[in-house]
Structure formats: structure tokens, C-alpha cells
Structure 1
């Protein structure tokens, strides 16, 4: 039997905010994908070695939840994760791996087609958070959840996640949501550590709750409704806020491009994942015009409107 593919994900809204119970909106990104496969070669040895360590982690901590004996045996037989999802780019490379392992080895697997209740989604998220903690130190479980379910999810709070429909994309739309490649990967753990250090500051906590979360939640509301004028009004505020308060997380190569978007009102940038490197997200109502300012960067359109 062919092993199923697990796709990348993009957190459109909610980076860092979901740690403090803001809303989040996440979508699958089928341009990148990964699957568990068997082959022994120089190319697969590195992935197999990583899986060997991960199998040990699950065996030591979660043998009651997974068939770790079968997992270890498959690793011994050369299993690896065949993936083109870039690592450290904020699009769910570890999330897809975790989803693939859960799908194959979970003892009491929750099957999406059968169990699409909020309670089951919350149960999945908890398990995925425990599994992904191996990679990031602490994980919300959101990335593997979206990679496993492969449908847009609305995060109302830490304990309230549901599926959601989005406005249909317009193939030749003038506006776009796009990715910009910073040219180098970022590391999640140090960025999250910076955020937690910032949270110790009362002033930062106040502006996060009163401004960032307010703009973030408004963006989700208007994006889901397809109301683009109020969406961009709030995106502008969100981008300005992040430029001021999330500067350490903005990849250095994109600092000027971030400010140019704000200054020209042509496009607005925001973090994609934890930042520090990898991708950032861009939103524009005129993609061709935005590209003239971003000609030095690789951009990938993920949604047209």
C-alpha cells in the first residue's frame, strides 16, 4: 500500500498570539508534501537516523499511545521521511512528519472522516503537541493537526478549534496572499524564547492583548467573509505593530522590504510561523505592483482574490 502524503501548512493569522489565546486561521499548502517510504541509500540515511532518535523518544515517553515496536522495526528496515517541505521555513516540516507517524502508528487513531467533532480535534491537538515537543521544546500541536486534517481550521482559543470554509479563490484575481523567501531557515525555539522573555514585560503584554490580538482577530473575521477593504485596514495596523514589537523575529534581509510595504501601502508583511528566517507572508490588493517593489525576492502566490 502506498503511504499517504502529508502536506505543508500555513498559519495565515495567529502567530505568537495563539499562545496568549488569540484566534488563529491555518490552511493546508499542497505545494510541499512528505510521506514515509522505504529505501536504503546515502540520500535517505540522514532522515532514517533522525527517525531512529524520534522512535526512541516515542518509545520512552508514549509507548502506550503508539506501536513503537512496529515503528522501530520499520526504521531498522530503512524507513525515512521523503519530504520537499523546507525545514525552518514556518510551513510545517516537523508537523507533516508527526502527522505521518501518528497516521501509521497510533494505537487508537482518530480517523478524520469519522470523528470530526471539536472534542476529537482537541484530543488530536493534545497528542500532536506532545509528539512535536521533541522538535521545538514546546508545541501547541496546531501544525501537525492541520497537516493531518488537510482542511482550513479556525482556532477560536486553545481549546476551541473547528473546520471553516474560506471564500473561493479567484484564479486571475488582482489581489494575492503570497510567501516571500528570506533565503535562510529560522529556528523556532530561540524565537519562541524571545517572545516569552517579552511577555515578562507588562507593557508588551498590554499592547499584545489590546492591539495585536484585536487586529489579528479582525483580520481573520474579514478574511473569512471576503471583505477586503476592512481586512487591509487591519493588516496595515498588524504589520506596523509587528515591525515595532516583533523586530527580532523579522528576518534581517526583509526588514527594509517590510517597511517599504507599509510606507507605500502596496503590500503588508507578517510573520509566517515563528520568524527569524524562512518565509514571511505578504498580502496585497495589487500583486503585480507589489512585485515591482519585491523584485529582489522570490515570491510564491498561495491565494488569489
Structure 2
């Protein structure tokens, strides 16, 4: 066995705020989510055939081929390298990001360099984006980055990403994940959003308000402002539920509307929508079925 370490776990990620806003220059806030995680092992499970395709992809990338020990990666593949993970795929919480982070961390030549400033962070994100593009065609590298550094990240804009201390958001109330019990793919949803944005002026105007609320929510959370957060979360839930209603599965839509009608809780996307998890906020303890407490 040639893995350098015992099983180091790489966590999934949650995009608390920033879905679609990031695409248009808005802010984002994402955190590691240790409930779902994965690690590299040898011989415990069958090697995924896509690992060999990833190896070929990495060999053809001049930047990544210089940074990674691909000879050892290939040797481990032949020994039965696998990624033992409970991260649900197609749920928008970074299953491929955690995998890429695990491989990069294990096989980077000389070990991971320290990340001391935003420039180091951006460089690491760029490498992660290049690597994860194998799975998605294009990637921001954000999911991989969060799994790799295991720290929350504040995306101030597309060129300014900073690691921050863990926000004390649980002091603001109760946050949950609603499981739509439906997988989805991010790329078609983003394409659908961009098409509407380019063609519909009314959609653009509504999305400006969406982005404003998104940025206010990040400010509220970081400032631990409960009243403002509750107010802005409700407004975003109302706007998102109307503006992007075609990206909400029927079971999630019923749950979403029930919360708005009662005022007991509010729901929003946790990523691209379309399925996977949705983020729920309440100042009360909820006992609704299908909820995972953060």
C-alpha cells in the first residue's frame, strides 16, 4: 500500500448563500459539512473505472502533470485505489469536489504548501477548477477548495475569495437541510438560468433584488443579526420561490410554501436547485420529516 497517510477524510460543502448570485458577480458563503465525507483507500472497494479516465486527463494537463505524482497515482489505481464516501452524488454538496481534494492532497509533489493569503487561495482554487473540470466540463474549483482547506470561504466576488473563521450561524436560530430525494446535475440548471438571464429583462430586474438580498443575508449572518437575517431570509424565500419555481421539485415546493404560509420556517436553494438539498431556516425547533439539522 503506497498511500502516504491513514484515511484522511475530506468533507462535503454547503453553499449557504450565493447560488446563481456568484455567477453574476454577487457574494457567496460556503462551509465544510463534516456529516458527509470521504477518503482514499486501497483494496476495500472496487476501483471506479472513471479513476483511470481521470488519470489520463491529468497526464494531458501540463499544469497538473507537473504538480502531481501521477506515477504513484497509477500504481495505486492498479492496487485498487477507491474513494470511500457517504457524500450523496447529484445533491450539490461537493461529492466530486471532495474526491478531487483527496487526490490532490495525496499526490501533490512535496506536499500541500501553506495557504497564507488570498493569492495562495486563488492559485489553489485555479488548480482545483482545472482538476474538477474533468467531471463537470467547467468548474469554479470552489467545492474542491473548501474540502481541501476544510475552512469556510467568503466569496466577495469572482476574483476575491477569502478563508474565514467558522461563522457562528447556529446562534441565529436553527438551520436544516430538506432532502428532496431527487438527484440533479448542476450544468443544465446553470445553463437554464443563464439563458433566462440573457433573454428576459424582467428576470434580470428581479435577479438584481435577489442578489441584493443574498449579499444582505451574508452580512446578517456574519454580523449575527437575527432579526435582519429572518426578515431577509423570508424575502429571499418568497422571491426565489417565484423567480426560480421551475427549479424546485414538487415535494420541496409543497414544503417551501407551507413554511411561507405558516411563518414557522423559510426555505431557499442550497446550491443550484433542481433537487438535492434545500436550506431551511427557523427560529424554532422543527420536527418536520426529511430534515437534517446542521
Same fold per TM (> 0.5)?
yes
Query: Are the counterparts in 2 of residues 222 and 231 from structure 1 also a CA contact under 8 Å?
Result: yes
Pair 203,138 (structure 1): closer, same or farther in 2 beyond 3 Å: farther
- TM-score with structure 2 length normalisation? 0.92
Distance 1:240 1:96 in 2: 32
The ranges of structure 1 where at least 4 consecutive aligned residues each deviate by more than 4 angstroms after the TM superposition are: none
Structure 2 partner of 1:298:
290
Structure 2 partner of 1:186:
184
- TM-score with structure 1 length normalisation? 0.89
Q: CA deviation at 1:188?
A: 1.4
Query: Are the counterparts in 2 of residues 239 and 269 from structure 1 also a CA contact under 8 Å?
Result: yes
Distance 1:65 1:249 in 2: 39
2:94 to 92, 95, 104: 92
Equivalenced residues, count: 287
Structure 2: unaligned runs, 5 residues or longer = none
Matches within 5 A, 1:183-222: 183-201=181-199, 202-208=201-207, 210-222=208-220
Query: Are the counterparts in 2 of residues 272 and 281 from structure 1 also a CA contact under 8 Å?
Result: yes
Residue 280 of structure 2 is aligned to residue 282 of structure 1: yes
Q: CA deviation at 1:110?
A: 4.0
Pair 23,108 (structure 1): closer, same or farther in 2 beyond 3 Å: farther
Q: CA deviation at 1:10?
A: 0.5
Structure 1: unaligned runs, 5 residues or longer = none
Distance 2:67 2:261 in 1: 52
**SS of corresponding position for 2:66:** coil
Q: CA deviation at 1:166?
A: 4.3
Distance 1:203 1:262 in 2: 24
Query: Are the counterparts in 1 of residues 96 and 132 from structure 2 also a CA contact under 8 Å?
Result: yes
Pair 110,123 (structure 1): closer, same or farther in 2 beyond 3 Å: farther
Q: CA RMSD in A?
A: 1.8
Structure 2 partner of 1:29:
33
